[in-house]
Amino acid sequence: MTAQTDYRLSQLDELEAESIHVFREVAAEFEKPVLMFSGGKDSICMMRLAEKAFYPAKIPFPVLQVDTGYDFAEVLETRDHWVDRLGVRLVVASVEKAIADGVVVDDGKTSRNRLQIGTLLNVLEQEGFTAAFGGGRRDEEKARAKERIYSHRDDFGQWDPKNQRPEVWSLYNGRIRQGEHMRVFPLSNWTELDIWHYIDREQIEIPSIYFAHRRRVFERDGMLLGESDNVTLKPGEAVTERTVRFRTVGDMTLTGCVESTASTTAEIIEEVAASRITERGATRGDDRFSEAAMEDRKREGYF
């Protein structure tokens, strides 16, 4: 950024400044913050913002990933690049291990996504993290639209939407009691399009599955899912090869892709700007089960 005579910030610069402020505030006030890294574009933008917030020092907290066992290889690869480049400590909490240890119960019906909740809460408690950054955005979903930037969690990691602390000006209240923690959402005011503009502007490395590629897919509940060892085809489901990309990344057994030829960030921006369907609605099986699906998971302690 160079000298600006009219003293105006672009909206992207203003969002960046706000997010950086949040990162610094948490680093200054919390004993043990951690950044929840899913490998998706939002959490990668968080990494970028954290990098900027503390530069030239290293990011003063570790990065936490909850490994569902069903993660895309491309996502794990990008994660490793970022962790190496920034020299941060990576904490991996594995859902498989949590199942083996009896922390969560795999009854064969519960999705990996849902089992992440117990796994996550367990690792937060075990490691004693007092603040956990999440990449949630308020434009994503109706319940999120009301969530604070600092979102207080009780002893059980639960969110109480009816009892949120007022959040005035940018004076964040970081008070927690023993056993409680804070979820912090530095990207609250960003939209999906803002994220893409930022990725484009900053030339941020994101997993290749966001870009158009050939993939063997099948249709389920109106979504396109990738073929993998972890999903068994139901009768009538047929695999075909198509040119697709992912709009969100998560548990590969639940995350759908869309047919697209967008192979650069600029092309993705065009596609997102013209898109008439929310990214979750299009591609997240976990949010479709009920009108209040996200709110329920959030209450329990989801990201």
Establish if 234 lies at the interface with other proteins (CB under 8 A).
no
In the complex, what is the shortest distance from the CB of residue 39 to other proteins, in angstroms, rounded to a whole number?
A: 23
Establish if 7 lies at the interface with other proteins (CB under 8 A).
yes
Largest CA distance in the chain: 65
Instruction: Spell out, one character per residue from 172 to 191, where the chain touches other proteins: x when CB under 8 A holds, - when not.
Output: -x-xxx----------xx-x
Task: Give the torsion sign (CA, 111, 228, 134, 62).
Answer: positive
Both tokens of 100, joined, read 């083996």
Classify residue 109 as exposed, middle or buried by CB count within 10 Å of its CB (0-12, 13-18, 19+): exposed
d(CA 35, CA 134): 7
The nearer residue to other proteins, 19 or 113, going by C-beta atoms, is 19
Pairing of strands 213-220, 240-246: antiparallel
Both tokens of 94, joined, read 């594995």
In the complex, what is the shortest distance from the CB of residue 10 to other proteins, in angstroms, rounded to a whole number?
A: 6
Q: Say if CB 268 and CB 196 are below 8 A apart.
A: yes
Binding residues for other proteins, how many (CB under 8 A)? 66
In the complex, what is the shortest distance from the CB of residue 17 to other proteins, in angstroms, rounded to a whole number?
A: 4
In the complex, what is the shortest distance from the CB of residue 185 to other proteins, in angstroms, rounded to a whole number?
A: 11
What's the distance, CA 128 to chain centroid?
A: 21
- Please name which of 303, 82, 77 lies closest in space to residue 209, comparing C-alpha atoms: 77
In the complex, what is the shortest distance from the CB of residue 194 to other proteins, in angstroms, rounded to a whole number?
A: 8
d(CA 186, CA 134): 7
Establish if 55 lies at the interface with other proteins (CB under 8 A).
yes
The nearer residue to other proteins, 175 or 216, going by C-beta atoms, is 175
Window 243 to 302, contacts with other proteins (CB under 8 A): 275-278, 281-282, 291-292, 295
The nearer residue to other proteins, 122 or 255, going by C-beta atoms, is 255
In the complex, what is the shortest distance from the CB of residue 198 to other proteins, in angstroms, rounded to a whole number?
A: 13
Using only C-alpha atoms, the chain has a radius of gyration, in whole angstroms, of: 19
Establish if 222 lies at the interface with other proteins (CB under 8 A).
no
Window 135 to 164, contacts with other proteins (CB under 8 A): 138-139, 142-143, 145-146, 152, 161-162, 164
Strand segments, DSSP code E, in the chain are: 33-36, 63-67, 90-94, 131-133, 150-153, 181-184, 213-220, 223-226, 240-246, 257-259
Cβ-based neighbour number of residue 5 at 10 Å? 5
In the complex, what is the shortest distance from the CB of residue 146 to other proteins, in angstroms, rounded to a whole number?
A: 5
In the complex, what is the shortest distance from the CB of residue 200 to other proteins, in angstroms, rounded to a whole number?
A: 14
Q: Which stretch binds other proteins (CB under 8 A): 7-15, 74-82, 203-211, 243-251?
A: 7-15
The nearer residue to other proteins, 114 or 152, going by C-beta atoms, is 152
Three-class SS of 178-224: CCCEEEECCCCCCCHHHHHHHHHHHCCCCCHHHCCEEEEEEEECCEE
Q: Which residues bind other proteins (CB under 8 A)?
A: 1-4, 6-18, 20-21, 24-25, 27-28, 51-58, 138-139, 142-143, 145-146, 152, 161-162, 164-171, 173, 175-177, 188-189, 191, 193-194, 275-278, 281-282, 291-292, 295
